[in-house]
Amino acid sequence: MTLVEAILQLYATGKDAHVLVCAASDSAADHILEKLVNNEGVGVKENEIFRLNATNRSYEDVQANHIRFCFFEEFIFKCPPLKALMHYRVVISTYMSSSLLYIEGICCSHFSHIFLDEAGQASEPEAMVPISNLC
C-alpha cells in the first residue's frame, strides 16, 4: 500500500514524473497495476500507464481487464516502439522484463523514479537489472 500511495502522489503532484515500477513476479506486478488503476482518489489515466510483459508470458495468463494496459501482436506480448513508450508516465514490469525498455532505447534519464517492490526479497542480480540499465 505504501508503494502504491507513493506512486499515486508522484503521479498527482509531479506532472513531469515518469515512474518505473518493478516487481519480482508477474502476479506482483499485476497486483500493483490493479491497485493503481482502481484507486478512487487519484485516477491514473489509462493512456498514461503501461504494463510491460515478457514475450514468453501467456496471453491467457493476463486478466481480461488488464489487457488494455499491455502491448501485443497476434497474442504475443511485445515492447511498444520507443515513441509510444515515451508517453507513458507509469510503466509496470518485472525486474527482468525491464531490460526490454533498455533494449528498445529508453535512456537512463527518462525515468524520474524507479520503484523496486519487495527489493529485500529479490536476488541482487535481479534487482540490479532496472537499476543498472535505467538509473
Q: What is the bridge-based pairing of β-strands 113-116 and 19-23?
A: parallel
Which of 3.40.50.460, 3.40.1030.10, 3.40.50.1240, 3.40.50.300 is the CATH number of 2-134? 3.40.50.300
Helix (H, G, I), strand (E, B) or coil at 102: helix
Q: Is-contact 10 113, C-beta < 8 A?
A: yes
Residue 19, SS3 per DSSP:
strand
Amino acid at 27: S
* The amino acid at 103: I
CA 48 to centroid of chain Cα atoms:
11
Helix and strand numbers (H, E) in the chain are 5, 6
* pLDDT under 50: residue ranges of the chain: none
Domain boundaries, the chain: 2-134
Classify residue 89 by its DSSP letter: S
pLDDT of residue 15: 86
pLDDT score of 43: 73
3-state secondary structure at position 83: helix
